[in-house]
Amino acid sequence: MLCETKRLSSLHQGDSAIIESFSDDRVKQQLLEMGCLPGEKVTIDRFAPLGCPMAIQVNGYTLGLRTEEAASILVKPLQ
Amino acid sequence: MKDGSQSAGTSDRALRVALAGNPNSGKSSVFNSLTGLHQKVANFPGVTVEKKTGQCTIYNSSTGVPTRFEVIDLPGTYSLYPKSPDERIPFEVLCDPHNPSHPDLVLLIADGTNLKRSLFLASQVVDLKLPCVLVLNMMDLVLASGTQIDVRDLERRIGVRVVPINARKEEGIEELKQVMVGATPVPEKDVLETTELAPKLIRGLRDLLKLRSDYSAMQIAQHRDSLGQFGFEKQLIEEAGQLIDSTGFNLEKLKSYETLERYKVIQEILRHVVTDPKTPRAPGISQRIDRLLMHRVWGYVFFLFILFLMFQAIFSIAEWPMNFIDETFAGLSELVREALPAGMLNDLVVDGILAGIGGIIIFIPQIALLFTFIAILEDSGYMARVSFLMDKLMRKFGLNGRSVIPLISGAACAVPAILSTRTIGSWKERLITIFVTPLMSCSARLPVYTLLVGLVVPQGSFAGIMSLQGLAMMALYLIGFLAAIGSAALMKYIVKARERAYFIMEIPVYRTPRWSNILYSILEKIRIFLFDAGKVIIAISIVLWFLSSRGPGSTFSRLEEQHDFLEASANTSHDSLAKLQSEMLATSYAGRIGHWLEPAIAPLGFDWKIGIALVTSFAAREVFVGTMTTIYSVGQSDEDALTVREKMRSETDPISGKPRYDSATGWSLMIFYAFAMQCMSTLAVVRRETGGWKWPTLQFLYLSALAYFSSLIVYQVLS
């Protein structure tokens, strides 16, 4: 079941979501090239001990990014 | 190659092969498999990005005809669109036909366990219409995960030869070599048609610059602001700029549109080619290891433990080979001194050249150990975790998670460490990292520390297991690190940010380090040290020998005559000769420079002999030990070939009669060497990386002041 759009940074460890769009053009291109594509499933792997950065599973590998960058990824959480 | 295709032949010029691929795709393993020991590291012209090249000759298995190749390992990147200075290199080399490294053949190294992302870069290069071979690496992991890749179908769909390999076990390398000597045609069709995205711009630019593909026109158009850096004629560049401006495309939008479209095409290819298209890599083991190594408590404990292990090993394991080298050179000096007739040449060889060489070779065990640790941490994938764990903490000090790698590498050498800051995307965070990295105690300081710690810290152990000297050494590294982050915190408030900082990095799965990769990396570092730094050290040793064995005015020549006379006569006492020799050193050129400096450094607890060492260490701090060796061999009588440490230990203060190197002077000197910017290579690299003399000058002034005042405080408190 799909819920309302959220920022990726607001999810919790173990949550999964589908990427919808990006709110920051500057990091958008790099995220796209690294395989964070709209429609792709992401799973939150873990947060670093101080809450940032976070590690996500996407496109078959683990990607580390700061919560600010993750906040620019708009997702629909999966339940 | 008139028709643009690469053909196997016995032409005089070696065929140029470029390796392109994502970071962690196993590019360097392929590079090492192809070139073995025939490799060298230089810089790309005009920039300081490392250019790894190697030679190999491959014999065609059916005809026996040899073909020579020059292999270039391009920096890893996810896309041809550069995000950092490092990533500009693959773009320039591949897109600019006039680039001096422009290849005849490209090997696209793809991580078989992450085909989708690998094919993104690979398909971009295919569309440039360069002769390409797609190399699918890590096929063992692909097979183990149960995924099947239809190689022939992939070949047909992407339009280039595909060779599956497993570089770690050298599987498939022979097949790859045979493909390399065969004719590789230019790819015929585009993986992604881009012409229609901006037909006027792309066709116009392609015709104007006579490019080999529409896609290279599109790539070059994306670099409107840096067109001047391409190798085209000035006139053409101007026209190209006008053309790009006149079409008025939103290039940023074009870029992201292309990215999305390209991934769609790749997705479609993979739907046919890969069976079992669910997440190809089982992240199981890595995730289980990470539960411990990225734990909020154990993660940091483990990291500190690794660092502790590293420094203990560097001090205790390296001691044995170092003593051996030290004694061998003392013995060798003795032999040479007796074998050669006494006189100027004898002195030059023993006190100048041999002392210099010995002072360089003694570094090698510690450098090798340090780089072994760093290479293992990088190759295993652990270093990326460290960046991840430390990012938040580092940001509090104006740094970036990626600053951890330069800072740790700084413990080996600041020069490559500063080069590795190129992966930091934000200018401010990168600049701060560059500024403070020289505070990390590099391997050149190791011998200085080793010598001084050995002099002022007693042997023995703390709590039975940790050697006191090892702990003192760790303390010195810690002091350097604390000074580095303290200075960074200070700079955070001074430097203005040019853009928002970010941190996006792949966290690779854990892998067993490939020992041959580590071995090559260590050999390379030792070679650079021996030949690049070694040259400077020997040259300075010789100059120093001259300065300390000659002197101005009549005082010196009078002493020299007296000395020669005494030496020739049979019944001269040992003491009177030694006394005369130290008088000679004091009146030599070097001695005068030292005396002239003494008032300024006396509050730090340094005498004129240390003053000489400070002057010579200005170019490179590792010269300190060599200088001490030279000064003390010149000042000592020929009969005792004592090691420099013993000579320094027996040195006494002429006024108080107490040992010259007591703990106050020792620690003051160590702190001085920990902080001072005594490395011309580092200054040169900082100038290149920051694009001017402003930052290296500020850095030099800041670090010198920090060193001077810290030593002053240390000496005044301890003495």
The beta-carbon neighbor of A64 closest among B116, B255, B507 is B507
Rg (CA), chain A: 11
The beta-carbon neighbor of B504 closest among A37, A62, A69 is A69
pLDDT value, residue B532: 66
For B486, the 3-state DSSP assignment is: helix
Domain range summary for chain A, segments of one domain joined by +: 6-78
Distance from CA of B326 to the nearest CA of A (A): 46
Domain boundary among B513, B543, B563: B513
Residues 83-112 of B with CB under 8 A from A: 83
Together in a domain, B199 and B174:
no
Q: Structure tokens of B160?
A: 């280039």
The beta-carbon neighbor of A48 closest among B83, B297, B389 is B389
Together in a domain, B172 and B136:
yes
Span between the terminal Cα atoms of chain B, in Å: 74
pLDDT value, residue B9: 45
Together in a domain, B165 and B22:
yes
Q: Tens of pLDDT along B581-634?
A: 777 777 888 888 888 989 999 999 998 888 888 887 876 787 787 777 767 765
The beta-carbon neighbor of B280 closest among A32, A60, A62 is A60
pLDDT value, residue B1: 37
B707: Cβ contacts below 8 Å, ≥ 6 apart: B671, B672, B673, B674, B675, B676, B677
Cβ-Cβ contacts under 8 Å, B289 against chain A: none
* Cis geometry, peptide bond prior to residue B513 (ω within 30 degrees of 0): no
- Domain count along chain B: 4
- Say yes or no to pLDDT of B36 above 80: yes
Region B244-268: mean pLDDT is 88
Determine, yes or no, domain membership for B669. Answer: no
Q: Is B261 on the interface with A (CB under 8 A)?
A: no
Q: Tens of pLDDT along B331-384?
A: 888 888 888 887 778 878 877 778 777 767 876 887 788 778 878 888 888 988
Q: Give, for B137, the enclosing helix (H) or strand (E).
A: strand B132-137
- Say yes or no to pLDDT of B289 above 50: yes
Domain boundary among B479, B497, B513: B513
- Do B29 and B167 form a contact (C-beta atoms < 8 A)? yes
Q: Tens of pLDDT along B191-207?
A: 888 888 888 888 888 99
Cβ-Cβ contacts under 8 Å, B120 against chain A: 33, 35
Together in a domain, B264 and B348:
no
Determine, yes or no, domain membership for B35. Answer: yes
Q: Tens of pLDDT along B651-678?
A: 777 667 677 778 889 999 999 999 998 8
In whole numbers, what is the pLDDT of chain B averaged over residues?
A: 83
For chains A and B, CB pairs below 8 A equal: 116
Together in a domain, B39 and B127:
yes
Q: Where are any strands of DSSP class E within chain A?
A: 6-7, 16-22, 41-47, 54-58, 61-65, 73-78
Determine, yes or no, domain membership for B697. Answer: no
Q: Rounded to an integer, what distance in angstroms lies between the CA atom of residue B43 and that of residue B46?
A: 8
pLDDT value, residue A16: 94
Q: Rounded to an integer, what distance in angstroms lies between the CA atom of residue B160 and that of residue B5?
A: 12
Cβ-Cβ contacts under 8 Å, B509 against chain A: 61-62
Determine, yes or no, domain membership for B705. Answer: no
Together in a domain, B24 and B125:
yes
Determine, yes or no, domain membership for B715. Answer: no
Together in a domain, B647 and B567:
yes
Q: Tens of pLDDT along A12-71?
A: 999 999 999 999 887 899 899 999 999 999 999 999 888 889 999 998 889 999 999 999
Among residues B591, B595, B602, the alpha carbon closest in space to that of B708 is found at B602
Q: Is B511 on the interface with A (CB under 8 A)?
A: no
pLDDT value, residue B619: 66
The residue range of the domain holding B467 is 293-316+365-513
Q: Is A62 on the interface with B (CB under 8 A)?
A: yes
Determine, yes or no, domain membership for B680. Answer: no
Together in a domain, B136 and B25:
yes
Determine, yes or no, domain membership for B675. Answer: no
- Do A34 and B78 form a contact (C-beta atoms < 8 A)? yes
pLDDT value, residue B502: 76
pLDDT value, residue A76: 93
Together in a domain, B34 and B175:
yes
Instruction: Report the complex ipTM.
Output: 0.93
Region B67-94: mean pLDDT is 88
Cβ-Cβ contacts under 8 Å, A43 against chain B: none
Cβ-Cβ contacts under 8 Å, A40 against chain B: none
The beta-carbon neighbor of A50 closest among B393, B506, B509 is B393
Q: Rounded to an integer, what distance in angstroms lies between the CA atom of residue B444 and that of residue A57?
A: 41
pLDDT value, residue B641: 46
Region B94-103: mean pLDDT is 90
pLDDT value, residue B15: 92
What pLDDT band is residue B10 in, cutting at 50, 70 and 90?
very low
Cβ-Cβ contacts under 8 Å, B401 against chain A: 53, 64
Q: Tens of pLDDT along B535-593?
A: 766 777 788 778 877 888 788 888 888 877 777 776 666 667 767 777 777 788 888 88
- Say yes or no to pLDDT of B12 above 70: no
Q: Give, for B635, the enclosing helix (H) or strand (E).
A: helix B623-635
Together in a domain, B44 and B115:
yes
Q: Tens of pLDDT along B482-493?
A: 999 999 999 999
Residue B339: alpha-carbon gap to chain centroid: 41
Distance from CA of A3 to the nearest CA of B (A): 24
Together in a domain, B236 and B341:
no
pLDDT value, residue B283: 52
Q: Is A46 on the interface with B (CB under 8 A)?
A: yes
Is B505 close to A64, i.e. CB distance below 8 A? Answer: yes
Together in a domain, B485 and B596:
no
What pLDDT band is residue B637 in, cutting at 50, 70 and 90?
very low
pLDDT value, residue B432: 94
Domain boundary among B122, B151, B181: B181
User: Which is more confident, B526 or B201?
Assistant: B201
Region B494-505: mean pLDDT is 79
Q: Rounded to an integer, what distance in angstroms lies between the CA atom of residue B665 and that of residue B672?
A: 10
For residues B1-21, one letter each, b for 16 or more C-beta atoms within 10 angstroms of the residue's C-beta and e for the rest, the string is eeeeebbbeeeeeebbbbbbb
What pLDDT band is residue B638 in, cutting at 50, 70 and 90?
very low
pLDDT over 90, % of chain B: 26
Determine, yes or no, domain membership for B398. Answer: yes
pLDDT over 70, % of chain B: 90
Which fold would CATH assign to domain A6-78? Answer: SH3 type barrels. (2.30.30)
Region B230-250: mean pLDDT is 84
Query: CA-based angle B324:B326:B331, to the nearest 5?
Result: 90
Bridge partners (DSSP) of residue B659 are B652
pLDDT value, residue B13: 79
**CB burial class (10 A; 0-12, 13-18, 19+) of residue B241?**
middle
pLDDT value, residue B676: 94
Is A59 close to B299, i.e. CB distance below 8 A? Answer: no
Q: Is A70 on the interface with B (CB under 8 A)?
A: no
- Say yes or no to pLDDT of B324 above 60: yes
